[in-house]
Structures are given as C-alpha cells and as structure tokens.
Structure 1
C-alpha cells in the first residue's frame, strides 16, 4: 500500500498545473444495495495502480510509435493480454472503434452485457505488481456459486470543474449477486477489449487495485462500481 496523503496529491496536482504536465487522478466507488433499494455499503477510494500495459499504451499514443517487441517487460513496448499472449510487433497500441465511437458496449472501458470486460472485480488479495496482466482471482460472470452477473455499462458521465480546470469522466457498471451466498470483492480492475490493432479482439488489463476496504455483496444484492479519472488542465 502506498504511504501517500491527500496533501501529497494536492501538491502533485499543483505542480502538474504549474509545469504543464498532465497528472491524472483516479477514484473507485463501491455501492451495495438490497432488492428494496436500501444502501448496505457505500465508499470511495483512490485508484493508483496502473500496470505496465497502461504505460505502454500511453507511450505508444503520446510518442506516436508502434509497439516494437513480442517481449513483455522493462524496455519493451508490447501488450500482454489476459490470456498471456504478448502482442506488439509493428502495430500501434490503441483502441480501435466500431462505428467511430469509443463509448459503445465492448469498446474502451465499456463492458458489454454479460461479459467480463470493462470494469471487472475479483476476490484476490495479492499485493499490486506492476507486471500483472490479470486480476489474481476474477469473479466469473454468471449465477453459480461465487459468481456475479456482469451487467452492461452505464452511460458515461463527463464533467468539467471550472474552479479547478479539471475534466473528469466516470465509468460505472452494475453487478448482481444471484449466487445464493455472500461474495467478498477485494480487487478491481479494467479489462480493455480491442486495445491492440493487429488482433482487435484481444483483451488487456490496464489497471488493478486491491481494495483498502473489501466489499461484501450479499445474495440478491446489487453492486455498483464506478471509476472516475480526471486531469487538471493548466488553464
């Protein structure tokens, strides 16, 4: 766990604006509701665990270069899919679109209904590792014991705060527990489909966080997970 205070975040945000260096900030939200709409749990926490895939993706786009290796590790630009396949020779790392939109189901961070892509959850508790390419123990999509039903993503919420010059985007998704028992969510991440041009059906994880406060989802309850990412502009 990082030993970082809100004062540290305030300072790096200030320096980012002063030096004209974009500093993204991420937040996860977790809300559990019963069938009658009663709130059983609700908390937010910072996200801070982008994996190597995310850095390679950012580097490819910001530096306008193709992935250049089929080796995944320090010094190589490549993407490691959740199935372990390494993709990265001669193609850009990016998000190909369908119908010219990155916001449709199955694109970007927007998981399609009944598929474990987009915002995903798991039961793993292993410490964050920069080289990770999957959750430690993803909760499968379904209604069997230990499974959650992955619903489609909710409409993306975009916001600009003129007082801080911060543009933010919130992605969210519902998960329903019809498994017959409690399920404890202790890790969360994003599985991004179609992130590598050469094989547009590949899926890669770009972030994984171990929850500071694990969330119990009782049987027949609904979990809402939100992911907000914001960038403070210098002007």
Structure 2
C-alpha cells in the first residue's frame, strides 16, 4: 500500500494524537484509503490522512456540545448555521434545528443512523450522499459545502455505477484506547472509458426544518494528489475511517 503523507506529516499527526490523549482533549482523526482493481488485479492501493473537515462539522459540534441554536441567516466565520450541498443555508427558526439522526415521532425505530440512505451511509445509485467522488482538483476550502465537480451515477461517459455503502464497522483498540468507525463503498466504471478521480467527499444526511425533512451536508472534501484513474471495467473501493482517541 502506498502512503501519501510524508513521514514528517505523519509524525505531526501522531504527536497531536498523543497530546490529545495526555491532555484529555477529544480528537477526531480521518483516514482515507483508495483501492482500484481491474479483472481481479490491483491497479492502485493508497492511504492518506483526511484533513479537510468543513465548517459544517465545526458548527455541528459547537451547537450540540454548547447547547446553542444555529440561528444565523448567513454562513461564515463566527456564525452558527449550516450550508446544504445545494448551497442553501439552514438554521433554527423556532421549529427544528439540524440533527444527524432521522426522527419520526410516531415511530421511534427510525431514530438511527446506520440504515442505507440515512446518516452518512449512502443507498445504491446515490451520487450525492455518503462517500462520493468528483473530478475537480480545486484547492480544498474550509467553506466548501459540496464537491466541486461531482461524478454522477450511471453508465454514460464519465459516470460510475454507485454501489450501496456497506454498514459501518466499529472496532476498539484497547491498547491505544482508540475507537474506529470504518465505512466502505464500491463504485464500478462501466462507462466505456477511463475516469479520473481528483476529489473525495463525505456527505451526511441530517434532519432539518421539520420532523420529516432531511438535507445533505458536506462534512469533508479531500483533494487527491496524485489523482487516481479508474480504468474502464475497473472498480474503486473507498474506505473512510474516523478514529477517536480516548484519554490515557
């Protein structure tokens, strides 16, 4: 497996994680792995740190932990609101805020994140939810709310067949006191030509507006350097891991 981050960069991440454990500061870490195969043969296998959490994530954490409503009508520095992938801003206006889980007051069984089509787990053929890919190498930006050039689901030129995202898998390393959630999604290239992937996104579905209204929010967008190419009749496996180191 090829590791993209330099040893110096990886050492900085490891020192940061160690400090978080020692000082008792919650520290979320993201890891992105890409594997491309064709005819059962490995074409590309690489791993890198995911380091491009968006403003949406920071505002979500602050609102939940600080018991603060996202009431601002605009989106930006020092403001609490969320920007959906369609560019529209959502905020608390006296009815409902924004939550990660789907809430149906008449059916408590729907209050969960792990089913396909909920939380950050995409259903089959969904190209705007969960783990997604795009064709733009525009620089990463804290204010981004969607991929810059999303690759669509389908069989046409430049399109990928999006497989349903697998159920998340939790694991715990007792020695390192680290809890990890692993998400995996496959996409097939049946377009008739090679497809270059330059960006990978992580998009979550949250309740907004009413008890039944759901919206999509970009949580991270990583630009790939170098890019990866999915050959015609090839397949990409995207693995996204979120780890939380607990204090020692």
TM-score, normalised to structure 1, is: 0.94
1:71 aligns to what?
74
| Superposition deviation, residue 204 in structure 1 | 1.2
| Superposition deviation, residue 93 in structure 1 | 2.8
1:209 aligns to what?
222
Change (3 A) 1:2 1:69: farther
Once superposed, which parts of structure 1, at least 4 consecutive aligned residues long, lie more than 4 Å away?
1-4
Deviates more, 1:129-138 or 1:195-204: 195-204
2:174 aligns to what?
162
- The aligned runs of 1:145-224 (5 Å cut-off) are 145-196=157-208, 198=210, 200-224=213-237
Q: Deviations over 1:77-98 (max 9, x none)?
A: 1111111110012343321326
Residue segments in structure 1 that go unaligned for 5+ positions in a row: none
Distance 1:181 1:164 in 2: 44
- The aligned runs of 1:10-159 (5 Å cut-off) are 10-34=14-38, 36-90=39-93, 91-97=96-102, 99-116=110-127, 117-159=129-171
Residue segments in structure 2 that go unaligned for 5+ positions in a row: 104-109
Distance 1:2 1:108 in 2: 32
**Match of 1:144, SS?**
coil
Change (3 A) 1:195 1:53: farther
* Contact kept? 1:193, 1:201, Cα under 8 Å: yes
Distance 2:97 2:19 in 1: 31
Change (3 A) 1:24 1:173: same
1:227 aligns to what?
240
2:106 aligns to what?
none
RMSD (Å) for aligned C-alpha atoms: 1.9
| Superposition deviation, residue 195 in structure 1 | 4.6
Distance 2:62 2:87 in 1: 21
Distance 1:40 1:55 in 2: 36
Q: Deviations over 1:88-136 (max 9, x none)?
A: 1234332132622210111111011101210000011011111111111
Deviates more, 1:95-104 or 1:128-137: 95-104
| Superposition deviation, residue 26 in structure 1 | 0.6
Number of matched pairs? 234
